[in-house]
Amino acid sequence: MQLRDYQKIGVKFLQERKYALLADDVGIGKTAQALCALDSFPVLVVCPASVKHNWANQIEMWITHRRQYIKIIKNGKDPIPLNRDFYIINYALISRGGREVFKQLMTMNFGLIICDESHKLKNTRAHRTKRILHPRGLISRTDKMWFLTGTPIKNRPIDLHSLLSSTRPDLIAPYTSYLRFAYRFCGAYEDKYGLNVNGASHEGDLANRIRPFMLRREQQEVLKELPDAMIDTVELECTPEAKKIIREEELKTAELAGERDIELFTLGETARIRQALAKYKIKESLPFIEDLLEETSKIVIFYHHRTVKNALLKSLSKENPVYIDGTVPAQKRAGIVEQFNTEPSCRLFLGQIQACGEGLDGLQYACHTAVFVEPSWSPTDITQCIGRLKRFGQTYMVNAYILVIKATLEAKMMGTARWKEQIMNRIIQKTGEKQMYLEEKIEKLEKAISTLVATLDKVLNDAPASETVTTAPGKAGTKKVTKKVTKQAEAEPTVEDPDDGEITIDQVRALAADICKKFPNGVGKNRCKTTIQALGGTKLDTLEGKKIGKCYEQFAEVLAEDDDDI
C-alpha cells in the first residue's frame, strides 16, 4: 500500500500539529492519512458503531512497522485491558454506555485520540461532546487529538465552535465564547425563538483563522490521483441469535455444495444464505447509510429481496427514496432516474441488482456513491452495478461500499482478494471516459444501423406484389385486372418441443433469444445466466448431454410465464 502525493501532504499536516482537523472530501482516504501519521501510542479511535470493524481492518492494512494489538470496545461493562496499541469505541457507547466505560477510559493515558466523523461533536451541549472535549473529559487524557470528517461545516459556521474553542481557542480569540463567536461569524440575532445562529458572517476572517487547524481537499482537486472507483468492504455487527440462524443456513448450503470452493457456488445455493442474511442486515445497515448521508448528498443502494426494499423505504422515508425493480415498466424508469437527479429532497435510489445491473443510464449525473446492502457474489454483477455510476458524465471518483455481516460466509466471500481484483480489473480495463463515451456511441450507432437494415428488409419483403390476370374478351376487349397479394402476418412465436431427436444447442440458443426479447433491460439475460449456472455451467456452450435438454425445458418454462417481479 502506497500513499498518493496529496495524502503525503495530509500526513505531514497532521504530524506537525497537536490538534488538527483533516476535512478531506469523502473517499479521499482520511483514515489512511491519519494512520500513516501516527508516532505515539496507544491510540484511542472514537467513531460511529457502523465503522468500528472497518477501522480495525484499516489498522491491520496500514500499520506494518509494529504488531497491532487492537481492542474493539463493545459494551460498557467489560474491563478494558491496558496492553493494547489501539482502542476503538463508538460515540454512543461513550455518551450512553454508562459511566463505567467512561471511568475506565479516564484512568488511561493515550498518545493520540482520533475522532472520526467529528461533525458529531458540533453540539456543545451534547453528552458525547462534553465527555470528549470538556477540559475534564477525554481530551485531558491525551497529548494529541485529531479530527476527521468530510463535512466540517455541516450546516453553518457555528458547527466549528466546539472544536475550535476546546483545542485552538487562540485562533478565534477574542471570540472564544459561544455568544461572541455566534455574533462575529454566524450573523446571530434574536428572533421569537431566541438566538438565531443559522447565518454566516465574516467568512473570510474565519477562513484565515482556521487555516492552521484545518486541511480540506475536494475530489475534483485531486481527481487525477484518484482511481476510477474505490471499493470498501464494511463489516457489520450481528446479534448472537442471528449468527446462529445464519450459521445453520451456511452449513446446509455447504453440505449441498459438496467439496466445491465457495467462490464456485451456484446462484441457487447462495440464495439460501442471502435469504437468511436479508432480514438481519437491514437493522445493521441503517446506521451506516444514515452516517454516509451526512457526508454525501445522494446514494444509490443496491439490493436483492423485495422485503429489504420495503424495509428501507419505510425506515428511510424522510429521504424521499425512489426505486426500480422488476415490477417497474421500462417506459417509467427514465422518469424515476430524472426525479432522483433533479429533486434535492430525493436522496436515495434503491435499485434491485437484477433490474438495474444493465440498461440503466443517468444516475452518474447526480451521484457517485453506491452501497450494496445485499451484494451479489458474482463480480460481474457488482461491476455492472458500479458501471451505472462510473460512466461517461461522471465527474467524481465512485465510492462503492459492500456491507457484510462479520464472521459469515458472505464476509469471507466479499473479502477475497481475487473477487475484488476481478471487479477492479473490469473497471480499469476501460481506458478512460473518452473510451467509454466512444464505445457507447459505437454501440448505439450499430443498433441504429441494424434497426434501419431490418426496417428496409421488412419493407422490401412485405411490399405488395401485382399479379396480372387476363379475363375473357368482352365487348370492351381484353381487360387486365391487378390483384394485390400480401404476406400473411407472422404469428407470434410459441414454445414447442422439437419434433423428434436430440435437442441441439442452437435450439436452446433460440429460446434464450426469445427470453431476452420478452424480458428486456438485461432481465432476460440474467434469467438465462441463472438457469445455466444452476445446471453447473458458465455459459451455454459449456453444457453437455442431458443438461442441454434440461436447459431447454427450463427456458421454455421461463418463456411461458407472465412478466413477474424476479
- Is 84 within a domain? yes
* Count of helix runs (H) and strand runs (E) in the chain: 22, 17
- Is 112 within a domain? yes
Task: Tell me how far apart the terminal alpha carbons of the chain are, to the nearest angstrom.
Answer: 41
- Is 105 within a domain? yes
Give me the tens of pLDDT residue by residue for the chain, a chain 566 residues long: 789 999 999 999 999 999 999 999 888 899 999 999 999 999 999 999 889 988 998 999 899 877 679 999 988 888 899 889 999 999 999 987 667 899 999 999 999 999 999 999 999 999 999 999 999 999 999 999 999 999 888 668 999 999 999 999 999 999 999 999 999 999 999 988 899 999 999 999 999 999 999 999 988 888 888 887 888 888 887 777 767 777 776 677 666 655 555 554 554 455 666 676 777 788 889 999 999 998 899 999 999 888 899 999 999 999 999 999 988 988 899 999 999 999 999 999 999 998 887 778 899 999 999 999 988 777 778 888 998 998 888 888 999 999 988 777 677 777 664 555 566 566 655 434 444 555 555 666 666 666 766 666 666 665 554 444 444 444 444 444 444 433 333 333 333 344 344 677 877 888 888 888 788 878 888 888 888 888 888 888 888 877 888 888 888 877 776 544 44
What is the Cα–Cα distance from 396 to 230, expressed in whole angstroms?
Answer: 11
- Contact yes or no for 138/106 (Cβ under 8 A): yes
Residue that finishes a domain, picked among 173, 192, 221: 221
- Is 376 within a domain? yes
Strand boundaries in 155-267, DSSP class E? 189-191, 194-196, 214-215, 229-236
Domain of residue 299, CATH code: 3.40.50.300
Residue 278 dihedral angles phi and psi, to the nearest 5°: -55, -50
404: left (phi over 0), alpha (psi -120 to 50) or beta: beta
Q: How many C-beta atoms lie closer than 10 Å to residue 4's C-beta?
A: 17
What is the Cα–Cα distance from 435 to 548, expressed in whole angstroms?
Answer: 38
Residues 207 and 96 in one domain: yes
Strand boundaries in 288-347, DSSP class E? 299-303, 322-324
Please give the radius of gyration of the chain, using alpha carbons only, rounded to the nearest integer.
Answer: 31
Strand boundaries in 201-245, DSSP class E? 214-215, 229-236
Residues 273 and 187 in one domain: no
Residues 196 and 281 in one domain: no
- Is 472 within a domain? no
Residues 195 and 140 in one domain: yes
CB proximity list for 112: less than 8 A, separation 6 or greater: 38, 40, 41, 43, 44, 142, 143, 144, 145, 146
Place of cell 420478452: 518
Distances from the Cα of 215 to the Cαs of 18, 126, 218, 340, in angstroms?
A: 14, 25, 10, 32
Residues 285 and 341 in one domain: yes
Residues 199 and 240 in one domain: no
CB proximity list for 331: less than 8 A, separation 6 or greater: none
Residues 198 and 258 in one domain: no
Residues 95 and 192 in one domain: yes
Residues 163 and 253 in one domain: no
| Full domain range(s) for residue 53 | 5-221
Determine the pLDDT at residue 290: 94
3-state secondary structure 432-477: CHHHHHHHHHHHHHHHHHHHHHHHHHHHHHHCCEEEEEECCCECCE
- Is 446 within a domain? no
Residues 167 and 281 in one domain: no
Determine the pLDDT at residue 419: 58
Helix (H) or strand (E) holding 335: helix 330-342
Domains identified in the chain, total number = 3
Helical pair 306-315 and 267-293, crossing angle rounded to 10 deg: 10
- Is 98 within a domain? yes
Helical pair 546-560 and 523-534, crossing angle rounded to 10 deg: 150
Place of cell 502525493: 5
Instruction: Provide the residue type at 16 as one letter.
Output: E
- Contact yes or no for 76/90 (Cβ under 8 A): no
Residue that finishes a domain, picked among 435, 464, 491: 435
Residue that finishes a domain, picked among 155, 187, 221: 221
Residues 164 and 304 in one domain: no
Determine the pLDDT at residue 548: 84
Closest CA to 52 of 63, 44, 62: 44
- Is 491 within a domain? no
Domain of residue 116, CATH code: 3.40.50.10810
Residues 34 and 142 in one domain: yes
306 CB-contact burial (10 Å; exposed 0-12 / middle 13-18 / buried 19+): middle
Instruction: Provide the residue type at 198 as one letter.
Output: N
Determine the pLDDT at residue 330: 83
What is the biggest distance separating any 2 CA atoms in the chain, rounded to whole angstroms?
125
Determine the pLDDT at residue 450: 67
Virtual CA dihedral for 323, 328, 334, 337, nearest 10 degrees?
Answer: 0
- Contact yes or no for 516/540 (Cβ under 8 A): no
139: left (phi over 0), alpha (psi -120 to 50) or beta: alpha
- Contact yes or no for 547/537 (Cβ under 8 A): yes
Strand boundaries in 73-165, DSSP class E? 86-90, 112-116, 145-148
Determine the pLDDT at residue 462: 58
